[in-house]
Amino acid sequence: AQSVTQLDSHVSVSEGTPVLLRCNYSSSYSPSLFWYVQHPNKGLQLLLKYTSAATLVKGINGFEAEFKKSETSFHLTKPSAHMSDAAEYFCVVSGRSFGNEKLTFGTGTRLTIIP
């Protein structure tokens, strides 16, 4: 079985400051891990994915995530927040190694950007 825990349901940062959204995972396999973003009234969009290549993964819009096996973590970061980053972010683990079947989503972190 696999699961993810998003440690913060809501994060607020000021525009131009760093963003950190925390995620811990549990998986019986070597996991594939993803971060998705959901803007209001929009579909889920893939930010980045980890599939056992480099542990530091770069995504779209300046986001990065680092896979740390010893800490079972996959935290999402961005050096400088922009107003357009305000959205719901989901940490996701796949049901099989390197596969897309049966993605398991976390409960989400709502990111608010303060002007």
Partner 1 sequence: DTGVSQDPRHKITKRGQNVTFRCDPISEHNRLYWYRQTLGQGPEFLTYFQNEAQLEKSRLLSDRFSAERPKGSFSTLEIQRTEQGDSAMYLCASSYSGTEDSPLHFGNGTRLTVT
Residue 62, SS3? helix
- Rounded CA separation 41/13 (Å): 22
User: Of these, 70, 84, 101, 115, which contacts partner 1 (CB under 8 A)?
Assistant: 101
- Please tell me whether residue 90 binds partner 1 under the rule CB under 8 A: yes
Q: What one-character DSSP code corresponds to residue 85?
A: G
- Please tell me whether residue 31 binds partner 1 under the rule CB under 8 A: no
User: Of these, 5, 8, 77, 105, which contacts partner 1 (CB under 8 A)?
Assistant: 105
- Please tell me whether residue 58 binds partner 1 under the rule CB under 8 A: no
Least CB distance from residue 88 to partner 1, whole Å? 9
Report how far apart, in Å, the C-alpha atoms of 92 and of each of 10, 34, 49, 76, 82 are: 17, 5, 9, 12, 23
- Rounded CA separation 26/15 (Å): 32
- Please tell me whether residue 24 binds partner 1 under the rule CB under 8 A: no
Helix (H) or strand (E) holding 6: strand 3-6
- Please tell me whether residue 108 binds partner 1 under the rule CB under 8 A: yes
User: Of these, 12, 26, 30, 45, which contacts partner 1 (CB under 8 A)?
Assistant: 45
Binding residues for partner 1, per CB under 8 A? 34, 36, 41-46, 49, 90, 92, 95, 98-108
